[in-house]
Structure 1
C-alpha cells in the first residue's frame, strides 16, 4: 500500500498496480436508438482495479465524444461494484443534452472507467470506442395564427409606423428553451423578420415594405402574395411550420421620404445636410448641432422646392422668406408634420443602456457617450445574462429595442423588444442614427470584448 506523505498528496502508483479493464461493451460496439428501444438496458462491466490490497474503490463510468479527451465527459454511473446498468434512453439524453450532439445523427463516442480510492492516484481504464445513433421525435411545429391564412394588408404613407404582427402557437420540442425565427417567403427567396423566445413578433409596415420591395425584389404599388413561416429551434432540433399565405399591397417606394435639415451648423448646404425620414405623416430623426444655429427643413436637397421656416414655437411656415428655427448646441430629435406644419424638438442629453443585463437593471440607465466623429453613441460596460434595451434621457419617451433578440447587430425599433444577452462579460454597444445610408434605418451593434 502506498500511503500519502501529506493528507492532500497522493502516492505514486507502483508497477504492480493494475487499472480497471472494460469488458462490455466491446470496442466498436454500435447502438441505434429508436422510439421502441428506449427502455432497453446497456450493461457495462469491467475488471476491477488491482492495488495489491483490499481497498474501498469507487468506479466512475465516463462517456465523451471521440477526440474530446474526456475534457467534460458525461457521467454514466458511479458505483463500488464492477458493473453498471443504464437505459438506452439515458445514454441518448446524455449525448444530446450533456455532450451537445445533434439528434437523429450518429455520434462517435468513447467510454472509460476511472477507479478512485482515498490517498492514491486515480486509475483509468483503456478507452472503448463505439457509435450511438441518437433519436428524438420530431415534435409538433408552431402554427401561424395571425394573420389568418390569405389575410390582406395594405401599406400606405399614413400607416408606415403601424405594426404588422405575426403570432403562432408554441411548438413542442420537449423543452421550454425554444427560439422562433420568423421568415417572409416569396417563391424560393426569403428574408428573416426577426427571432424571439415569445410566440409573437411585430415589424412596422415601413420595414415590411422594404423587405418585400427591397430585399425580395417585389413590385411597389402592387398586390404581393407572400408566406409566413416560423422555425422553432432548440439546442438539438429545428422544426418549420407550414407556410401561411398573406397578401400585402405594397407602397410604391422602396425607401421613405426624406426631409433635409440645412443650417448654419453645416454652412446651409442642403444636398449634404442631415435628413429626417418619413414615418407616416411625420418626418422623424436625430441631428447633432455643434453650435447654437439657425436652420430650416427642405423637401429636397436644394432651395428650389418647399422649405419650412419658423412661425412660432412648435409651428412652421412654408414662407420661403421666413426666418429659420434656432436650436443647439446638442443632439436633437426632430419630429416634423409637414401637413399640419408643426414640429417637436427634443434635446437628447444622453442615451443609455437599460434592462436586467445592465448594472442598473430596469431602474437606471448605464450612460453612453456621443462620438461626434462617427455620429454614434457608445458604451463599454459589464453586462450579465438578461434583457437589454436603449433609451434617452434616463426616461421612456424615446426608447428603442430590436427585432431579433439574438442578433449582435441590426435595426433599432422604437419601443421594440429587448436584446437577449446570453453570456456575462464586457461589451461595447454602439447606436447609430445616421440617416444617410440605405436603407435609412437606425442601427445597433453589440461587441463582446
Structure 2
C-alpha cells in the first residue's frame, strides 16, 4: 500500500515537472543609461558674467518602458571612480544647465588650482519616476579652465601610521579642524599612535603634502618637488596638534585634561533630517571614540551637536562651516547641501566639508 501511494504521487508530480520545464521565461528588458552628447574637450570659466550657465546635452535614458526620468549631472576628480561625486544640476529633460560660478568652485574644491586648468570626470545619473534602480552612464573626461577669484577654504587631512587610517590616503581620513577666525590655523586634539604622520590637502592625492624636515617648521611639497619628512609622535596617547600655515609652524603637545566618552553624539536642528524632534546619530571612530563623523544632506536652517539623545550635554556656536561648539552655545547656521560632518567631543570643534 505504501509503495502504491508513492507511485501515485510520482504520477501526479511528473506532469508538473515537465510543464514547469516547458514554461517560457519572461523576456529580459534591456536598459540604456543616459550619456553626455558631444561633450566639449574643454570648459572655460571666466567669471565675467555672474549669471552664466553651462549647458550640457544628454541622450535620453531607456528603462524599457515609458516613464518620467530625472537626469543628474555629476562630477568627480579623475581616478576616484566617483566615490565622492558632486551633483552639478538636474533636469527632467535632456538639457541640464549648470551655474558657471558653482562649477568653478566645485572644480577648485576637487583639486584644480584657481586660475589653472585640469581634467574632471563627468557622468549622467538617470533616476526613474518608478521603483526601478537608477542608471549611471559612462564617465567622460573634460578639461575645466577655472578662474582664480573663487573663495575656497582649504581642507587638510591626516595620514600615517600614527593616525586612524594609517597610510591609506583615501579612506575618509579625519580632517584637521579649521579655526573659524583664521583660515590658516588648524587644530586637532585626539589619540595618536607612536610613529609618523603627514597632512594632505586632497584625499586620494599625495600632493600637496605637508610634513617637517627640521622638527619645528612646516615643509610642503605642492607637487613635483620632494616630499617632506613626517611629523613624529613619541608615544601612544592624546595630543593637541596645532598647524599654522600663516607662521609655517606646528606644535604637538600631550593632552593633560581628562577625556570623557559619550555613548552617542548626533546632529539635531531645523537643517537636519529629523528637525528639532530627534538627533541623527553620528559614528565614532574605532581608533578614537571622541571623533564623530556623518555624511548628511542639510537644508537651510540651524543645527547643534548633542550627546546621548538629550539636552544635558550639547554644543553650539555661531559660525557656519567650522567652529568651536560650547555647552548650550547658539545654534549653528547651516546652508543647504550634502556635507561630510566631523565633530570632536573633546574640545567641541567641528567642520563641515561639502561633498
Q: What is the TM-score of this pair, normalised by structure 2?
A: 0.37
Indicate the structure whose relative CO is greater, using CA pairs within 8 Å and at least 6 residues apart.
Answer: 2
Between structures 1 and 2, the one with greater strand share: 1
* TM-score normalised by length of structure 1: 0.30
